[in-house]
Amino acid sequence: MNACSNTFNQQLQSAWASQGSMLCVGFDPDPKRLPLALQGKPEGVFEFCRDIADATADLVCAFKPQFAYFASQRAEAQLEKLIRHLKDKYPHIPVILDSKRGDIGSTADHYALEAFERYGADAVTVNPYMGFDTIEPYLKHAGKGVIVLCRTSNPGGSDLQFLNTASGEPLYLHVAKLAAQKWNTSGQISLVVGATYPEEIAKVRAIVGDMPLLIPGIGAQGGDIDATVNAGRITGAPGTGMIINSSRAILYASTGNDFAQAARVVAQSTRDALRAAAAK
Ligand SMILES: O=c1ccn([C@@H]2O[C@H](COP(=O)(O)O)[C@@H](O)[C@H]2O)c(=O)[nH]1
């Protein structure tokens, strides 16, 4: 089986091992923050992300384009082109489309086609709060990753995710249990847990065993790397189990023409800090 026909989970396992990295570089291309030379250029968004991908590809276990940044500036064709570039040049690195979809099953069928057929992503983020029938359509795409929001990194995540359910546990832990114990019969599901809440990462890890966790919130959101890695670690398998995302801190390391080299410097120090934390 070559890298392209591997499942998302197999790709991740290989990437953690061969890249020696749990860093995921996120693509959130804000048109106002692109280097001046790329602002307003017809394929400026694509070129910006491509150059950062090419400068960091040896440092990551995954790439994560954020859909809204492309759609809001009518750059969906550039997103398609970016993912094609990533899959052609780096078939061993999984691509997560971060679109946080959630809708009734008949509509979710089309969101799944959008993510996996139109964009060719290896995994997609989904919102579970409409229930399992809204997640099932993604699972019909064998081998593709379905990454379910559990305990998000934003402060307002507590508004709903911390509400106690009838069993007395907070909603996010109920989601973790459903995901691990009921929904994951095909092994395609992972969870999103924010680096800004390491205590909750540890509680989720205790429920889900070795399920991969997508962890945004280091870098611009200030999540602590040591606390995050310690909370999400899998006993006996250091350096695995986590896809730890940083977007703005890497993308906007420089506003000049040296943006890609500057992104590499920050990505490398972040990768190294994650490695050091995993080795403790
Ligand atoms: O709980 C969540 C879920 C997703 N995100 C996404 O991750 C990146 C974070 O970007 P930074 O610049 O590193 O803060 C962004 O695409 C979010 O949409 C999240 O932050 N928290």
- Full-model pTM: 0.97
Q: Is residue 208 part of a domain?
A: yes
**Confidence at 4, pLDDT banded by 50, 70, 90:** very low
Task: Provide ipTM, 2 decimals.
Answer: 0.99
Domain that residue 31 falls in: 8-279
DSSP 208-253: HTT--EEEE-BGGG-B-HHHHHHHH--TT-TT-SEEEEE-HHHHTS
Q: Has residue 85 got a pLDDT over 50?
A: yes
Among 81, 100, 140, 144, the active-site one is: 100
Residues with a CB atom less than 6 Å from ligand 1: 26, 28, 66, 98, 152-153, 192, 194, 216-217, 219-221, 245-248
- 3 found inside a domain: no
User: Radius of gyration (Cα) for the chain, nearest Å?
Assistant: 18
What's the gap between Cα 119 and its chain centre?
15
Mean pLDDT of 53-82: 98
Q: Is residue 119 part of a domain?
A: yes
How high is the pLDDT of residue 256? Answer: 96
- pLDDT over 90 percentage in the chain: 98
Please say if the pLDDT value at position 3 is more than 80: no
Structural domains of the chain, count:
1
pLDDT digits (tens, 9 = 90+) for 25-61: 999 999 999 999 999 999 999 999 999 999 999 999 9
CA distances from 179 to 46, 187, 208, 211 (A): 34, 10, 8, 10
- According to the model, what pLDDT value does residue 2 have? 39
Residue 133 confidence (pLDDT) above 70: yes
CB 116 within 8 A of CB 142: no
Q: Report the pLDDT value the prediction gives residue 5, as an integer from 0 to 100.
A: 62
71 lies in a domain?
yes
- Domain membership of residue 2 (yes or no) is no
What per-residue confidence (pLDDT) applies to 1? 35
Distance CA 58, CA 20 (A): 9
| Residue 191's CATH number | 3.20.20.70
Mean pLDDT of 165-170: 95
* Residue 218 · residue 232 · CB < 8 Å: no
Instruction: Kindly state whether residue 161 falls inside one of the protein's structural domains.
Output: yes
Nearest ligand 1 atom, CA 194:
1
Span 271-275, mean pLDDT?
Answer: 98
